[in-house]
Amino acid sequence: MAFIPDVQKIEFEGPKSKNPLAFKHYDAAEVVDGKSMAEHLRFSVAYWHTFRGDGSDPFGPGTISRPWDDGTESVENAKTRARVAFEVFEKLGVPFYCFHDRDVAPEGDNLRESNRKLDEVVAVLKEEQERSGVRLLWGTANLFSNPRFAHGAATSPNADVFAYAAAQVKKAIEVTHELGGENYVFWGGREGYQSVYNTDMRRELDHMGSFLRMAHEHCRNIGFSGQLLVEPKPREPMKHQYDYDVGNVIAFLRAHDLLGPVKLNVETNHATLAGHDMIHEIELAASQDALGSVDANVGDPMLGWDTDQFPTNIYLTTQIMMVLLRYGGISPGGLNFDAKVRRESYDVIDIFHAHIGAMDALARGLKIAAAIKTDGALEKIVRDRYSSYDSGIGKKIDERKTTFAELESYMIERGNPARSPSGRQELLENLINEYI
Amino acid sequence: MAFIPDVQKIEFEGPKSKNPLAFKHYDAAEVVDGKSMAEHLRFSVAYWHTFRGDGSDPFGPGTISRPWDDGTESVENAKTRARVAFEVFEKLGVPFYCFHDRDVAPEGDNLRESNRKLDEVVAVLKEEQERSGVRLLWGTANLFSNPRFAHGAATSPNADVFAYAAAQVKKAIEVTHELGGENYVFWGGREGYQSVYNTDMRRELDHMGSFLRMAHEHCRNIGFSGQLLVEPKPREPMKHQYDYDVGNVIAFLRAHDLLGPVKLNVETNHATLAGHDMIHEIELAASQDALGSVDANVGDPMLGWDTDQFPTNIYLTTQIMMVLLRYGGISPGGLNFDAKVRRESYDVIDIFHAHIGAMDALARGLKIAAAIKTDGALEKIVRDRYSSYDSGIGKKIDERKTTFAELESYMIERGNPARSPSGRQELLENLINEYI
Amino acid sequence: MAFIPDVQKIEFEGPKSKNPLAFKHYDAAEVVDGKSMAEHLRFSVAYWHTFRGDGSDPFGPGTISRPWDDGTESVENAKTRARVAFEVFEKLGVPFYCFHDRDVAPEGDNLRESNRKLDEVVAVLKEEQERSGVRLLWGTANLFSNPRFAHGAATSPNADVFAYAAAQVKKAIEVTHELGGENYVFWGGREGYQSVYNTDMRRELDHMGSFLRMAHEHCRNIGFSGQLLVEPKPREPMKHQYDYDVGNVIAFLRAHDLLGPVKLNVETNHATLAGHDMIHEIELAASQDALGSVDANVGDPMLGWDTDQFPTNIYLTTQIMMVLLRYGGISPGGLNFDAKVRRESYDVIDIFHAHIGAMDALARGLKIAAAIKTDGALEKIVRDRYSSYDSGIGKKIDERKTTFAELESYMIERGNPARSPSGRQELLENLINEYI
Amino acid sequence: MAFIPDVQKIEFEGPKSKNPLAFKHYDAAEVVDGKSMAEHLRFSVAYWHTFRGDGSDPFGPGTISRPWDDGTESVENAKTRARVAFEVFEKLGVPFYCFHDRDVAPEGDNLRESNRKLDEVVAVLKEEQERSGVRLLWGTANLFSNPRFAHGAATSPNADVFAYAAAQVKKAIEVTHELGGENYVFWGGREGYQSVYNTDMRRELDHMGSFLRMAHEHCRNIGFSGQLLVEPKPREPMKHQYDYDVGNVIAFLRAHDLLGPVKLNVETNHATLAGHDMIHEIELAASQDALGSVDANVGDPMLGWDTDQFPTNIYLTTQIMMVLLRYGGISPGGLNFDAKVRRESYDVIDIFHAHIGAMDALARGLKIAAAIKTDGALEKIVRDRYSSYDSGIGKKIDERKTTFAELESYMIERGNPARSPSGRQELLENLINEYI
């Protein structure tokens, strides 16, 4: 029985199709740069936005009510939602999904009861995974909604809250493991502060490090070999969050000797809220061997909060795919649609429009990025630009075989450097446009 | 002979004075929290802004011409400027100054000539230091103004430019050493990019690391034991600079194993351009034992560029001094006024108004911070807020003696955490106001 | 019977008091610059934040539950809340309050029922007003929370929604009139758009104008002579709101010939979200005879959303009061605390800390602004700065009695303008600090 | 004799060309939506950036030196530059140019001399216009670079500066008239303030109004019937500029009864600096019959200053052209490239890459916008969305034939509005992508 009988499986119809419920660019089996689109893109639906989002915002309650949802916090309702979710995954042809523990199952009155309810729903998820072949990209624990986390979770001034968070993450990791999740994500929405005046930053950072170390130990103990990922975000809900951006998270992971076992889940909207272009953040992470997965959404550059929109901008999707092609792909991570339909887009069909548009935009980005790579013109320009490091004094610098004294002698001799060629930014922007 | 005969030494006259050319709060000898104000505050004048700033901006040329400056790039003119500078330092009663190599002396046609000119002026600086007792807080090299650095210095795609920058920094360190400088600063204004499309980020970051390592080695070789400092700034002049903020610089220093030998010079205006309050940045740096020195200025929170204004906001100066008192002071760093008079404030007397106001504001901040510390009410509130980590399960967390498994058992037993007390942000803001 | 027995009436105890539940600066009867503090400041409590705020944010539900609130949407509960509100007003000594229709009374299943419920609660408000002497500063209608307003109210593409909004505002104006409200406010939280692609901006702006004109006509029809006020906000909840800032609202009011009958309610947090300092916005409004009332709160300049914090910054409160003293006060408007306790400040007592701190901060601002005015030094500097317009060619310009031709002849004669004196910004900032 | 012998006239070669010095989309004669591309786009080169820009920024001097420029401020050099400029206009096939008085000719020691020098160069411009057929889109006066304007021009506190500015604008208008300029632009780069403390905003706004009124009178007196345009910019170089954005300028023009005679010149980079998308600003201006011309550039949404980049983003150019097609085109205004090559792009050839890329991007935008218009699907969705205003109560609202009383009766009867359809933002974004 279908919950959404009006929508059939979304098929690839090619760029000329005018059918809004067809893919114009995403063809899962099409081979691009040596791999199928499905392998490159590893799309994932975000359970929270797509099945729990109700369209509420700080100035109004929800606008969205789904026909299959009875509005209760019962386990039965949660199980139904899970069945619907898999119907959507399959109709979209998306191979992965992601969830928070509290998205899929209701919270109980205490930890034991919450765990029990979670287990009940996980059984359904497992059954659906097996039936459909859809897999879990990553699981995570919601450590920010419940009022107990108002002051933080791992950085709470209340040791009991730290302990509760630890127990909750322990369970979420175990459940992720049970479902064959390929990654586990940490997003510390309340790990920061509203006021420096009441905050002991040193102690909080220290607790946050201990928390992550213990989580990592627990994964080893239970044999969970999925990738661990920290997701940077600069602020919101807190005034300041410690996992501010890729650089700050890397600083933190290096301080606790966790870079390597732990990588990053980088989100477009979080990047821009921190003042960075998405391509900067993923390139920075990848250049440090720290890129684990991508939350494929987009914010509005004029807005100062997380709008979590579906990514439809071809420049953005091209840039993302250029980095992924350069660094060998995103696996075992994926492209997770941490995005929500607008508050005013309250029909079920809007979910489909949203995902189809984003999948097509990323597929176009992939094809464009592959064409740029194949063509090689851009890569050559960049390689040539740095060619002075391929020989002579440049090579010595590149290979770390020189000193300030030697460089001074060299330059005293020469007097002045050779002139650098133009940066050709305008030409390069035109070049990118040739492929778009 | 005085260059500025109309201005006498600025004296402390106390809060009731209406004399704009007197200190109302800064009394160098006054003991606050066990040290003199002079020892706490370690004020420094920035040579570039105060003696080379001409009031130009992107929409118009300079508005400022000083009576002592003949407008030429001669060494003689540079020497005169140096004499004037020390007159200003002495009249202000500021014990330190900072400079870039190219501020104090003109650049020659090649490296050898530039070095010779620099030496000539350094001889005057040395003489003036000895005469006046004013000391060098830090030196640095200007690796951003000359067009040769348009594409970066240590991150230039041109190996010759890297070599030139290395030679220039080598000399600047030596000169700083010769003048007894207590620190040496790296600010990489062009170490970043305008366009990701023409940039090999991994290679650039690698070169930047090598550069800093070689600089550190050179300091050891010549026996310079001053503190090395990197100054974060997120952008401007480039679209993106690698030393984005405290967190990003710490990530970089840890990657190259330089945190410890190298610390941070944190600037208010750069902090806010990166989206952080100044108190966040210095607290974060200090909590990682990485705070080296402070560039005491302020930006306009409504503006997206570096305005480098003199700090007169008492909340800001109080917050800075609260952190410095908490972490044992700023020495061997200092509070350097990396600030300039406005383009419309083109009289010599404006230099004095500007420094007097900032020195008084920081002196008030010091007195307020000391009163808050002595009173102890704020500190007690914060300590109590985290007291659950002083015993029981909290202590085990704090001492890293527990595991997720133990924490889960503990919490399964308890069911739910104890309620956290209110964060009391409103009370704390009122409390701060009681001291202001 | 008191609902909050632990808190007594807040008394003025002076700056040396250490009692957090006493005023240190606000003494209602104290005469400053010829009027009592109460007359100058006309404080108002915002019903929605203080009695309906639950601490929810986009990442978590409410943290606040009040002992007097049974959590239901019954009229009885609403009446109880009203009684509590007046207890708080009286204990704080605040002479005014403000409300939205849907804050004070629950919404019914249709317009008639909603109106009936509102009338029931209004009867209690009226009784409490008479008993306590507390008055209504302004009323307003909530046209943004109910999902029917998701696409706008006066700018909804749905004519029925326009009609519903008109009916709701009609009732809200009548209720405000009945309660003797001195102003009526329009804040169009959804009057804007999320996407330009689905928006007919010209038609929406036209409808918005008609709505306001009809509202104004209705006021005349029923004899409501209170001041009408539009409150600017640039964005949030929408991507873009038409009432972006003071300038945009004035443009709109002039287009519809409503400036005069309609003025502005200017909020600090909305000002900064639009990129303006609060002093800019109120000075601009006042200089156009368009300043009606003030929402006295503050945002965080590092954050891109409305945090609605209580104003405790003395610079801000001084600047506000400087403008109000310059333009003859805020009456019949007032200083309404459109501010909420933090999500982490969930105790009843936090409401008192918050209001006391803000009232004290504004009282200090008033005293400082009055001292600056009495002293006259700042005013004289500004007056002198423009003195060239007091005679000669300047006077002709000022009095609009010259032409480009005459000005050219004058200047051809002179060749160049006289030099302008320094702007003295640094001196002026120091001068302000002398009073703080 | 050609100054740039290596570059020939840029020809249209179509989308498959790999020649970086050919148009791939801009074909001047191609007819789109009933007019030639040349008529639609009315491209203009900005004299200041392209012939006077030297690549300087706040952290370094110029990087650009042109082979034809002898570096002096002589009239001869200025005349040569003018000849080069027309060679570039012709090679690019751009039909218009724009200038400031001080771009084209050097400033003299006094007004009379400046005017004389300007006249000498204008004679050359006139000759070149006649020879080439290239026309003047608009002229303007530079009232921001010379230090005399440090405190403003029309808003200077110095009446002599006001008079000087008036005389300078008078001459600039006359010169524009002589050259057959189709518009005259006012951009008041210093019409604002750095500090509210030294500013009399009411008096400044009043002077600014008088200035514009006198300018308008002068145009009538001399028979200049070109369109007058004010160009909004929120800030930079000042902390705050009065012509903040489209809304603020319209408010100002309405206050002085100048809207109509005066329209707006809207720039992308200024729009985003004010927090608006470009499409918002031009739609708002056009919807008020106030759109006069466009400065076609783009900023970096992550940066807080004017980067004045060439527009290459197809989404942006499509949005601009959608508005222009909707409102009947931009004539007598045009699309002026107020854009500069990057500081690192210092070769002459970069000027060509930059303009070719921008022209192609706008040509693509035009073709896409025309396809969207022809298809009609988007327009139909929007029209349908508002169809409730085409009959019944909606029509009465639209035609301003109803009252709050009638609307209340209507709604009391109905009880609740009909449900609004989904906003379909996701579908619309996908739809736009179909054309890109």
Q: Is B284 among the domain residues?
A: yes
Report the C-alpha gap between A190 and A155 in whole angstroms.
8
Q: Which of C270, C271, C265 is nearest to C286 (CA)?
A: C265
The residue ranges of chain A whose pLDDT is under 70 are 1
Interchain proximity D194–B343, CB inside 8 Å: yes
The residue ranges of chain C whose pLDDT is under 50 are none
Nearest chain A residue to D431 by CA distance is: A20
Q: For tokens 């808003």, what's the residue?
A: D155
Q: Is A274 among the domain residues?
A: yes
State pLDDT tens for residues D85-140: 999 999 999 999 999 999 999 999 999 999 999 999 999 999 999 999 999 999 99
Window 343-362 of B, Cβ < 8 Å to D: 343-344, 346
Q: Which residues of A touch C195 (CB under 8 A)?
A: 342
| pLDDT at residue C13 in the model | 98
Interchain proximity D302–A272, CB inside 8 Å: yes
| pLDDT at residue D82 in the model | 98
Q: For tokens 């302008």, what's the residue?
A: C420
Window 222-281 of A, Cβ < 8 Å to D: 272, 275-277
Candidates B27, B103, B338, B360; catalytic one: B103
DSSP 3-state of C424: coil
Interchain proximity B60–D237, CB inside 8 Å: yes
In the structure encoding, which two tokens stand for residue D228, read together? 């007058």
What residues of D act catalytically?
100, 103
Q: Which residue segment(s) compose the domain that D409 sits in?
A: 388-435
Element of type H or E holding D127: helix D111-132
Q: Which of A211, A216, A309, A311 is nearest to A258 (CA)?
A: A216
Do B270 and B148 share a structural domain?
yes
In the structure encoding, which two tokens stand for residue A109, read together? 């009155």
Q: Which residues of B touch D239 (CB under 8 A)?
A: 300, 302-303, 307
Q: DSSP string spanning B198-221?
A: G--HHHHHHHHHHHHHHHHHHHHH
DSSP 3-state of D58: coil
CB B297 within 8 A of CB B270: no
State how beta strands B227-230 and D227-230 pair.
unpaired
Among C324, C340, C375, the domain-final residue is C375
Interchain proximity B404–A201, CB inside 8 Å: no
Q: What is the largest CA-CA distance in chain B?
A: 82
Do B151 and B32 share a structural domain?
yes
| pLDDT at residue A200 in the model | 98
Q: Could you tell me if D305 lies within 8 Å of chain A, comparing CB atoms?
A: no
Interchain proximity B145–D194, CB inside 8 Å: no
Q: What is the largest CA-CA distance in chain D?
A: 82
How many other CB atoms are there within 10 angstroms of residue B109's CB atom? 9
pLDDT greater than 80 at residue D1: no
Report the C-alpha gap between B95 and B136 in whole angstroms.
8
Q: Is A4 among the domain residues?
A: no
Report the C-alpha gap between A187 and A175 in whole angstroms.
17
Nearest chain B residue to A112 by CA distance is: B412
Q: Sign (positive/negative) of CA torsion B381, B387, B388, B389? A: positive
Q: Is D205 among the domain residues?
A: yes
Do D298 and D418 share a structural domain?
no
Window 132-161 of A, Cβ < 8 Å to B: 148, 150-151, 156-161
CATH of the domain at D310: 3.20.20.150
Q: Which residues of D touch B303 (CB under 8 A)?
A: 235-236, 239, 304
Do C268 and C235 share a structural domain?
yes
How many domains, in total, are found in chain C?
2
Q: Torsions phi, psi of A45, nearest 5?
A: -95, 135
CB C160 within 8 A of CB D413: no
Q: Could you tell me if C314 lies within 8 Å of chain B, comparing CB atoms?
A: yes
Among D351, D375, D399, the domain-final residue is D375
Window 22-81 of D, Cβ < 8 Å to C: none
CB B248 within 8 A of CB A245: yes
Nearest chain D residue to B304 by CA distance is: D304
Q: Which of A60, A195, A306 minimises the CB distance to C144?
A: A60
Element of type H or E holding D136: strand D135-140
- Percentage of residues in chain D having pLDDT higher than 70: 100
Predicted confidence pLDDT, tens digits, chain B (436 residues): 699 999 999 999 999 999 999 999 999 999 999 999 999 999 999 999 999 999 999 999 999 999 999 999 999 999 999 999 999 999 999 999 999 999 999 999 999 999 999 999 999 999 999 999 999 999 999 999 999 999 999 999 999 999 999 999 999 999 999 999 999 999 999 999 999 999 999 999 999 999 999 999 999 999 999 999 999 999 999 999 999 999 999 999 999 999 999 999 999 999 999 999 999 999 999 999 999 999 999 999 999 999 999 999 999 999 999 999 999 999 999 999 999 999 999 999 999 999 999 999 999 999 999 999 999 999 999 999 999 999 999 999 999 999 999 999 999 999 999 999 999 999 999 999 999 9
Do C356 and C317 share a structural domain?
yes
Report the C-alpha gap between A326 and A315 in whole angstroms.
16
Report the C-alpha gap between A184 and D234 in whole angstroms.
45
Q: Which residues of A touch B404 (CB under 8 A)?
A: 166-167, 169-170, 214-215, 217-218
Per-residue exposure over D33-51, b if at least 16 CB sit within 10 Å of its own CB, e if not: eeeebbbbbbbbbbbbbbb
Element of type H or E holding B44: strand B43-46
DSSP 3-state of D152: coil
Do D402 and D271 share a structural domain?
no
Q: Torsions phi, psi of D4, nearest 5?
A: -125, 75
Report the C-alpha gap between B135 and B182 in whole angstroms.
9
ipTM rounded to 2 decimals: 0.97
Task: Report the residue of A65, A66, A426 to disrupt the D interface, i.e. the one with the largest count of D CBs within 10 Å.
Answer: A426
Q: Is A357 among the domain residues?
A: yes
Candidates C27, C101, C103, C306; catalytic one: C103
Do B62 and B174 share a structural domain?
yes
Q: Is B3 among the domain residues?
A: no
Among D325, D348, D375, the domain-final residue is D375
Q: Is C49 among the domain residues?
A: yes
Conformation bin of residue D353: beta by default, left when phi > 0, alpha when psi is -120 to 50 = alpha
Interchain proximity C423–B360, CB inside 8 Å: no
Which residues have CB under 8 Å from D391's CB, separation 6+?
none
State the alpha helices, DSSP H only, in D288-403. 314-326, 348-375, 377-385, 392-398
State how beta strands C11-12 and B335-337 pair.
unpaired
Do D279 and D419 share a structural domain?
no
Q: Is C381 among the domain residues?
A: no
pTM listed for this prediction: 0.98
Task: Report the residue of B194, B269, B350 to disrupt the D interface, i.e. the one with the largest count of D CBs within 10 Å.
Answer: B194
Do A305 and A243 share a structural domain?
yes
CB D47 within 8 A of CB D36: no
Q: Which residues of A touch B277 (CB under 8 A)?
A: 196, 240
Return the DSSP state at C191: S
| pLDDT at residue B1 in the model | 63
Do C393 and C300 share a structural domain?
no
Do A226 and A368 share a structural domain?
yes
Interchain proximity C344–A61, CB inside 8 Å: no
Query: From the CA of C4, how many Å to the nearest CA of chain A?
Result: 24
Do A404 and A351 share a structural domain?
no
State pLDDT tens for residues B182-233: 999 999 999 999 999 999 999 999 999 999 999 999 999 999 999 999 999 9
Q: Please report, for residues A195, A196, A199, A256, B280, the alpha-carbon distance to residue A240 in angstroms, rounded to integers and kept in the order given.
A: 9, 9, 11, 21, 9
The reply to whether B103 belongs to the active site is yes
Report the C-alpha gap between C426 and B165 in whole angstroms.
36
Nearest chain C residue to D401 by CA distance is: C210
Report the C-alpha gap between A63 and C146 in whole angstroms.
9
Interchain proximity C20–B427, CB inside 8 Å: yes
Q: Which residues of A touch D275 (CB under 8 A)?
A: 302
Q: Which of B302, B426, B432 minimises the CB distance to C354?
A: B426
Candidates B25, B49, B100, B270; catalytic one: B100
